[in-house]
Amino acid sequence: MAIDAPPLPPLSALSLDELRGWMTVRGHPSYRARQVWRHLARGAAFEEMSDLPLELRSQLAASFRPRSLVEVARVEADGGATTKLLYRLDGEATVESVIMRYPRRTSLCISSQVGCPIRCPFCATGQGPFGRNLRPEEIVDQAFDAARRLAAEGRRLSHVVFMGMGEPLANYEAVLRAVRRLVDPLGPGISPRRITVSTSGLVPRIRRLAGEGLPLTLAVSLHAARDELRDVLVPINRRYPLRELVAAADAFAERTGRRVSYEWVLLAGVNDTERDAEELGRLLRGRLAHVNLIPFNPVPDAPFREPAPREVRRFTARLRARGLEVTVRDTRGREGEAACGQLRARTLVDGDEARGLPMRSEVAHTR
């Protein structure tokens, strides 16, 4: 009986030093490592690494696969401005990322875990079982793959947001290694300011992140400004209540000089009332902060509703009247289930990743 050979290790899992060592052992000059490192950041296949000798390319191909994930589904939405990708990792788990093209920037929303242990009741990712932490290469490969697609369009990946699946600070070491690689000038060279780490509020990790010497953008998923409500909407609040969370965010702002962004998913009748505006105003008054309102993106079986546009406008005005700086997130990728957290949920429900999706992407293309 034939036994499947285990897959080759992904080349993207090696550090630059490990890559240098690998080259030296095989008699290649160590500068080859930097060439390969650069190619990886562009998502190149071995045959595309054309400045490497053929022998080296075939040695690499015999020892490694170029990256750790495989695309299994894609949805184009918003007239081609949004691309949602579903990837399979080792062990059959899937994660998603979303490319969002704007006139002057291109942003990628990436995943850090398979599922999420925090289990917020309004979030599609939180509804499924928690799978596992992503490895650093599984995080950066999402960005490298996006960079490859964008280069073919003459675009550069300019921003990365950790707002896909998972709680990035619950997978701290891997996320940090991935971030350091994303900012590497030999790699994609993305400015740390253009990398946003979004967290449900793991207070000790926010404090640790503040000391990493990286001026990242921190987004705190607040959603409620009183503990009683936040305990329900973001269950980690029972461990790290609001007072501690805001103090940690303040410390981050102070250490890094970066304004903290507070995310607020608008749930009709739950956290969009005058009382909520009053509490939020009181909590953030005088802080180096910014509020980003996200109209709830409906999730099957979640007991929440999206507020009407006039309610969104009213809540925005209430916050501004209290001196807060507020933006409303655009609802990118909602058609074709392409908003964050939705593609995987949908394909898992369908039970068919390969068949159902190309059709939907065609529909999105012709819209």
Which parts of this chain interact with ligand SF4 (CB under 6 A)? 116, 118-120, 123, 125-126, 166-167, 200, 221
Distances (CA, A) of 308 to 296, 305, 313: 10, 9, 9
Q: How many CA atoms lie within 13 A of 167 on its CB side?
A: 22
Shortest Cβ distance from residue 118 to ligand SF4 (Å)? 4
Report how far residue 60's alpha carbon sits from residue 81's, in angstroms, rounded to the nearest whole number.
Answer: 35
Out of ligand SF4, ligand SAH, none, what residue 100 binds, judged by CB under 5 to 8 A for its kind, is none
What are the residues facing 73 on neighbouring strands?
86
Map tokens 């500068």 to a residue.
Answer: 31
Shortest Cβ distance from residue 253 to ligand SF4 (Å)? 21
* Active-site residue set: 96, 340
66 three-class SS: coil
Out of ligand SAH, ligand SF4, none, what residue 41 binds, judged by CB under 5 to 8 A for its kind, is none
Out of ligand SF4, ligand SAH, none, what residue 299 binds, judged by CB under 5 to 8 A for its kind, is ligand SAH
Helix extents (H) in the chain: 16-25, 31-41, 54-63, 124-127, 136-152, 172-183, 203-210, 227-233, 242-256, 274-284, 309-321, 342-350, 353-366
Backbone angles phi, psi at 263, to 5 degrees: -90, 145
Report how far residue 48's alpha carbon sits from residue 134's, in angstroms, rounded to the nearest whole number.
Answer: 27
Backbone angles phi, psi at 335, to 5 degrees: -65, 150
Shortest Cβ distance from residue 21 to ligand SAH (Å)? 35
Tokens representing 59? 């040695």
* Of residues 199 and 256, the one with the C-beta less far from ligand SAH: 199
Out of ligand SAH, ligand SF4, none, what residue 40 binds, judged by CB under 5 to 8 A for its kind, is none
Out of ligand SAH, ligand SF4, none, what residue 119 binds, judged by CB under 5 to 8 A for its kind, is ligand SF4
Contact positions vs ligand SAH (CB under 6 A): 116, 122-123, 162-163, 167, 198-200, 221, 263, 265, 294, 296-297, 299, 340-341
* Of residues 120 and 183, the one with the C-beta less far from ligand SF4: 120
Shortest Cβ distance from residue 161 to ligand SF4 (Å)? 12
Out of ligand SAH, ligand SF4, none, what residue 297 binds, judged by CB under 5 to 8 A for its kind, is ligand SAH
Distances (CA, A) of 285 to 277, 322, 326: 12, 8, 13
Of 166, 321, 196, 327, the residue nearest 260 (C-alpha): 196
Looking at residue 120, its amino acid is C
* Of residues 133 and 221, the one with the C-beta less far from ligand SF4: 221
* Of residues 82 and 171, the one with the C-beta less far from ligand SF4: 171
Shortest Cβ distance from residue 353 to ligand SAH (Å)? 21
* Of residues 123 and 174, the one with the C-beta less far from ligand SAH: 123
Q: Closest-CB residue for ligand SF4?
A: 126
Out of ligand SF4, ligand SAH, none, what residue 361 binds, judged by CB under 5 to 8 A for its kind, is none
Shortest Cβ distance from residue 121 to ligand SF4 (Å)? 8
Shortest Cβ distance from residue 223 to ligand SF4 (Å)? 9
Looking at residue 287, its amino acid is R
Report how far residue 150's alpha carbon sits from residue 101's, in angstroms, rounded to the nearest whole number.
Answer: 9
User: Could you tell me whether strands 132-133 and 113-114 are parallel, antiparallel, or unpaired per DSSP bridges?
Assistant: antiparallel
* Of residues 68 and 125, the one with the C-beta less far from ligand SF4: 125
* Of residues 39 and 119, the one with the C-beta less far from ligand SF4: 119
* Burial letters 327-357, b for 16+ CB under 10 A, else e: ebeeebbbbbbbbbbbbbbbbeeeeebeeeb
